[in-house]
Amino acid sequence: MTEPLPDHATDAPVFITRTGRYIGLRTEGIQKALGIRYATAERFHPPVPVPPSGALIEAVIPAPACPQRVPRTNEIMGDPERTVVFDEDCLRLSITLPGDAAEGERLPVLVWIHGGSYVFGAGDLPLLDPATLVREQRVVVVAVTYRLGILGFLGGVDPNGDARPANLGLLDIREALRWVRSSIAAFSGDPDRVTLVGQSAGGDAVAHLMISDGVEGLFKRVVIQSAPFGLRRHRARMTRMMLAAAGPLDASTPLAQVHEAEARADAVGARFGFKGGMPFGTQYGHAPLPPEREAAGRWRRVAPRYDALVGWTSEETSLFVDFSPPLVRLFSLPRVGGAIRALALRISTDVVYRVPGRRFARSLAKGGGSVATYELRWRPRGGALGATHTIDLALLFPGPLWRGAGVLGDVRPDELPPLGEAVRRVWAGFAATGRVDEAATTRVPVPMLFRTLRRRSR
C-alpha cells in the first residue's frame, strides 16, 4: 500500500528512487530535494551506501556541514557559513532542477564539489545557491557534502600504532556519485551526462576522482576551477608529521579535542612552504588512489574517457597573501610596495595555479582527452583583490548573499546575473555536449580567455 503524502506536502514534488521516495520543494521556477542521505559512516571509517528503501522521506532541510574551524577567509567572503548547521552525520546531497522539468526528461547533470582547502565549506552553503544556473540554463545541479579536515583527509598510522584510512572525504564523494548514477533519472537528470564541477580543493578532488578506483561510468566530463595543482606533489613527509602532531584519535574523542588535534596538524603543515597552504588533502597510495609515481601515467591513460575544462583566475593568490602580516608590511613600502605585491601575486599564482594547471591540461590532451582551458581576468569594480580566488563562484552562483563580500569590491549582487550569464551558458553547454561554445565565449561580458587544446571528433 502506498503511504499517503503529509497534508502540507500534497502539492510538493515527489521523487521516487531506490533509496526512498523524497518529498521536495517547489519555488520560484525550480524544484529542490535537500539533504538526501547517500551514505552513512562511523568516524574514521569508510562510507556505507544507503540501502534500498520504499520509505517516504521529506527532503526539505539543507544538508549539515562537516564540523570545521572558521577559516581566515570567512569575512572577506561575506561570512558564508553564518546560517549553516554542523554535524558529523553529513554525508548528504541536495538536488536542484527546473520547475517545469517533465517526467522522463533527461537534462545534463552538474555535480558540485565545493572547495575550502579540504577543511571548510559545505555543499549547501546558501551563498552558492544554484537556482539561477538551473532556472536559466535548464540543468540539474547536485551539491555534495562530504567529510573534511582531520575527519576526512588525514590517514595513516598514529602514535599509538593505530591505522586510520586516508581519503575518506574522497570515498564519500565517490559514494555520492554512485547514488547519482542510480537515482538521478528520478530528478529528470541524464545519468550518462554527468559533469563533475569543483573549485579550489573541490577541483583538486575532481581531478583525483578521475584516477580513482571504482569510478568507471560515474561521470563523463569535468570542470576544474582554480585547483591548486602546484601543491599536490611530494606531500608524504608533511602528512606523516601532521599525523604525529595530531596524536591518537578515535570515535570516542570529543569533537573539541579533534579540532585541537587538527589545529596542531595544521601548524606542522604550515612549515612546508606553499604546500602548507593546503596541508590536508588527498593521499597517494591509499584507496582509492594509485601511488604518486603512477599518478601522471594514470591521468594520461584515463584522459580519453573524459571531456575536461580546466581554468584559473589571473590573480588567484591575492585572497591569501594579504592575510600575512610580513607580506602586508612589505607591500606597504613607499614607491616599491605595489610593484612587489604585483610580482608576488604573479609568481605565486604561476607556481600554485596557472603553470601546473596548464601542464595538467596539456597532459590530458596528449593522453587523448578533449580539453579546453580558461583564464578569468575579471577585476571587480572597486575591488582591492582583483581577479582573485573565488570570484568565479559569484558568476556561477549569483545571489543576494554576495552583498558585503570583499572579493567583489563595489559590484552589487543584482549586477551578477547579467555579468555571469555567458559564463553559466558555457558551463551548461559543456555539460551538455563536452564542447566549449565558442560563440558564447565571445559574448562573455567579463574578461575571460578560452583556449581549446584538443577537441574530440564527433
10 Å Cβ neighbour count for 449?
Answer: 13
Joined grid coordinates for residue 69: 574551524
- d(C-alpha 75, C-alpha 404), whole Å: 9
Residue 200 in any domain: the answer is: yes
What is the separation of C-alpha 392 from the centre of its chain, rounded to a whole number of angstroms?
12
- d(C-alpha 14, C-alpha 7), whole Å: 13
Whether residue 111 contacts residue 180, with contact meaning beta carbons closer than 8 Å, is answered with yes
> Furthest-apart CA pair in the chain: how many Å?
78
DSSP string, 148-169: -HHHHS--EE-TTS-EE-S-HH
Residue with cell 517545469: 100
Residue 322 in any domain: the answer is: yes
Element (H, E) at 194: strand 189-199
Q: Specify the higher pLDDT residue, 117 or 322.
A: 117
Catalytic residue selected from 200, 226, 314, 348: 200
SS3 378: coil
53 a catalytic residue: no
Residue with cell 570529543: 254
Radius of gyration over every alpha carbon of the chain, rounded to an integer in angstroms: 21
Which CATH number covers residue 427? 3.40.50.1820
Per-residue pLDDT reduced to its tens digit, 362-393: 999 999 999 999 999 999 999 989 999 999 99
Residue 3 has pLDDT above 70, yes or no: no
How crowded is the C-beta side of 385, counted as CA atoms within 13 Å? 23
- d(C-alpha 323, C-alpha 304), whole Å: 41
Per-residue pLDDT reduced to its tens digit, 112-131: 999 999 999 999 999 999 99
Q: Specify the higher pLDDT residue, 9 or 118.
A: 118
71: preceding bond cis by omega (within 30 degrees): no
10 Å Cβ neighbour count for 370?
Answer: 23
178-187, 196-205, 332-341: least confidently modelled range: 332-341
Spell out a b/e string for 392-414, using b for 16 or more CB atoms within 10 Å of the CB, else e. Answer: bbbbbbbbebbeebbbbeebebe
Catalytic residue selected from 114, 208, 286, 389: 389
Average pLDDT, the chain: 93
SS3 367: coil
* The pLDDT of residue 2: 44
Question: Could you tell me the pTM of the whole model?
Answer: 0.95
What residue numbers bound the domain in which 402 lies? 7-454
pLDDT tier for residue 273 given thresholds of 50, 70 and 90: confident
389 a catalytic residue: yes
Residue 331 in any domain: the answer is: yes
Residue 370 in any domain: the answer is: yes
Q: What percent of the chain stands above pLDDT 90?
A: 82
SS3 333: coil
Whether residue 97 contacts residue 143, with contact meaning beta carbons closer than 8 Å, is answered with no
Residue 69 in any domain: the answer is: yes
DSSP lists the bridge partners of residue 370 as 307
Residue 2 in any domain: the answer is: no
Residue 7 has pLDDT above 70, yes or no: no
Residue 1 in any domain: the answer is: no
Residue 417 phi/psi, 5-degree rounding, is -55, -50
10 Å Cβ neighbour count for 69?
Answer: 15
Joined grid coordinates for residue 70: 572558521
- d(C-alpha 358, C-alpha 348), whole Å: 15
- d(C-alpha 144, C-alpha 219), whole Å: 14
Q: Report the domain count for the chain.
A: 1
Joined grid coordinates for residue 162: 593505530
Catalytic residue selected from 175, 262, 315, 316: 316
200 a catalytic residue: yes
DSSP lists the bridge partners of residue 31 as 26, 97
Find, among 179, 126, 125, 129, the residue nearest to 148 by Cα: 125
Q: What percent of the chain stands above pLDDT 70?
A: 95
SS3 65: strand
Where do the H-state alpha helices sit in 270-390? 292-302, 318-321, 325-331, 337-349, 355-366
Residue with cell 612552504: 273
